[in-house]
Amino acid sequence: MAGKRNGKRTTITLKEVAELSGVHASTVSRALNPATRSMVMPAVVERILKAAKKLGYQPDPVAASLRTGRSSLVGILVPDIANTVFAPILSGATERLDEQGYSVIVSDVGNEQGRQIDLVAKLMARRVDGLILATVSRDDPLVAYCIERNLPAVLVNRAETQSRLSAVVSDDALGMQLAVDHLSELGHKRIAHLAGPTRHSTGFLRRRGFAQAMAANGFDAAAAPCEVADAFTREAGAVAMRRLLDTHRGITAIAAANDLLALGAYDVLHERGLSCPGAISIIGHNDMPLVDMVAPALTTIRISHREMGRQAADLLHQAIEQPDAPARNVVLPPKLIVRKSTAAPPSTK
């Protein structure tokens, strides 16, 4: 019944290949597996390979998985597939994992924590070999959950505070430094930060990076205006931006923790009839698709999310192969992309 989708076409099994080549199924198994191939005489191997090709044999991963406990499946947890930041990560990761022979089960988590653990439990039941997590907060119970169960996992984009698992992230401190340096060089004196949620490492580290960069540029970091958005969305960015403008005077430049927050800031400038970069310069973070098309084209810090996904795939592969190797952190360097949303501050009179 299994493997038989209709009347005529039956899937061919190891045993059939064995019969055709006149050996036992176990020998076929060994001959087909590169790791055990050396146990079989070369001449026999060749005969078996020929028979397998002739029959069009395709191994059944389900049966193999049952026996071995491995599955060549990895799960990827993303907060939101449709988010233009996570899509390239997914894309890069699946590309590389595919090369390595894994198939990818994608889980869109939504936002509930409990659900996240449930999803992982379901993936474990499916015998996934490992997990790529793009969802974790700075201190996430999910990490402990995976470690306790010896499930290989790596983090991507967002890291956790303790580095218990391998992770690939952007250098958020450097990113903010590039941003602040750029604004400072343009002559800005009153630079504000539109921060992201601090439960995520990106929000937290970029905020800290902003403070450090301000200090490095000779500003009083503690006095620098800063508002925290509830989420990395355009709407939350707009809300925080309004607070920022309402409670602080004389801001001429804004370093946002994220492009969507920056776009939310754009919306508020529109509302209030302020020009960008005439009245206020804005710099984003991520360089997500199409931000070069908005008006004004957004100056931002580019992160190669696709590359991030690829590296995460590599790290996961290693974590699966060598479960006891120590966690490694890969930090990718971001890059300043200057467009039209930043300029010298309006001349003060």
Contact positions vs DNA (CB under 7 A) = 1-3, 11, 13-15, 22-27, 29-30, 32-33, 36, 38-41, 43-44, 57, 59-60, 63-64, 66-68
Nearer Cβ to its own copies (58/163): 58
Stretch that binds its own copies, among 182-190, 220-228, 239-247, 291-299 (CB under 8 A): 291-299
Nearer Cβ to its own copies (138/310): 310
Residue 55 interacts with its own copies (CB under 8 A): yes or no: no
Residue 103 interacts with its own copies (CB under 8 A): yes or no: yes
CA nearest neighbour of 130 among 116, 151, 144: 151
Residue 33 interacts with its own copies (CB under 8 A): yes or no: no
Integer-rounded Cα radius of gyration of the chain: 26
Q: How many residues bind its own copies (CB under 8 A)?
A: 57
Nearer Cβ to its own copies (26/161): 26
Q: Count of CB atoms within 10 A of residue 174's CB?
A: 17
Question: Could you say which of 37, 47, 127, 242 contacts its own copies (CB under 8 A)?
Answer: 127
The CA-based dihedral angle spanning residues 133, 301, 347, 190, taken in that order and rounded to the nearest 10 degrees:
40
Burial label, 111 (beta-carbon count in 10 A; 0-12, 13-18, 19+): exposed
Residue 91 interacts with its own copies (CB under 8 A): yes or no: yes
CB 340 within 8 A of CB 299: yes
Binds 40, which of its own copies, DNA, none (CB < 5 to 8 A, cut-off by type)? DNA
Minimal distance in Å, beta carbon 276 to its own copies?
12
Binds 132, which of its own copies, DNA, none (CB < 5 to 8 A, cut-off by type)? none
The total number of residues shown for the chain amounts to 349
Q: Count of CB atoms within 10 A of residue 282's CB?
A: 26
Token reading at 298: 């957004």
Burial label, 293 (beta-carbon count in 10 A; 0-12, 13-18, 19+): exposed
Nearer Cβ to DNA (151/245): 151
Minimal distance in Å, beta carbon 27 to DNA?
3
Q: Cα 329 vs. chain centroid, distance in angstroms?
A: 14
Q: Cα 241 vs. chain centroid, distance in angstroms?
A: 27
Token reading at 269: 């400038």
CA nearest neighbour of 224 among 274, 176, 165: 176
Residue 16 interacts with its own copies (CB under 8 A): yes or no: no
Residue 84 interacts with its own copies (CB under 8 A): yes or no: yes
Burial label, 99 (beta-carbon count in 10 A; 0-12, 13-18, 19+): exposed
Nearer Cβ to DNA (32/153): 32
Residue 60 interacts with its own copies (CB under 8 A): yes or no: yes
Nearer Cβ to DNA (59/296): 59
CB 127 within 8 A of CB 74: no
Binds 221, which of DNA, its own copies, none (CB < 5 to 8 A, cut-off by type)? none
Binding site for its own copies (CB under 8 A): 1-6, 9, 58-63, 65-69, 71, 73, 80-84, 87-88, 90-91, 94-95, 98, 103-108, 121-123, 125-127, 149-151, 263, 266, 289-291, 293-296, 306
